[in-house]
Amino acid sequence: MSDNWVPEIMYEDTGEDGLTSHIPFIPVPEDEEMPKLVYIFESRETGEFEPGPEGEELPVTEMELHQYADMAMLKKGLDTITYDRVRSALGLEPMETAVDKGRDVTNKIRQRLGQPVESKPENIPFFPEGTEITLPPGTFPPGTFEKDD
């Protein structure tokens, strides 16, 4: 990956029939990688004006920097609970719920096409084997996990 490549955010002009359906895209050269983090300035006019070089009125603009992270990288690097917290902070449903809903949509399409539907996997642990979970004190009432004599 070179230090000289600057990703460009592009939009299709073809309307609803386009490949990207109004979702912006970044054309990535063969020898480059998709950025894991993108910085974008938000630009807003304040409603005020100032004189330009020729004395004309130019709108005053405020700029605020935003960062957008690759969700695939976050999913890969975070545990399930933290990843779902990030999703929730962004207004998204937990991953398991989103996957179930996506499967339902796909199954409806498959049914219309006469193809077999995919059933929900059973008995898949929520946490990968070996995951240690530390809960804050007071999460469960005292004696919840004490063994009866």
Contact 123, 133 (CB under 8 A): no
Q: Is the pLDDT of residue 124 over 70?
A: no
Contact 111, 104 (CB under 8 A): no
Residue 143 pLDDT class (50, 70, 90 cuts): low
What is the average pLDDT across 33-46?
95
Matching residue, tokens 């917290």: 85
Q: Is the pLDDT of residue 149 over 60?
A: no
Give, as one character, the DSSP assignment of residue 94: P
Helix (H, G, I), strand (E, B) or coil at 67: strand
pLDDT at residue number 5: 93
Tell me the two tokens of residue 131. 């995951």
Whole-number Å distance between alpha carbons of 76 and 83: 9
Residue 21 pLDDT class (50, 70, 90 cuts): confident
Report which of residues 131 and 78 the model is more confident about: 78
Contact 62, 44 (CB under 8 A): yes
pLDDT at residue number 77: 94
Can you name the residues that pair with 39 across neighbouring β-strands?
Answer: 67
Residue 90 pLDDT class (50, 70, 90 cuts): very high
Residue 146 pLDDT class (50, 70, 90 cuts): low
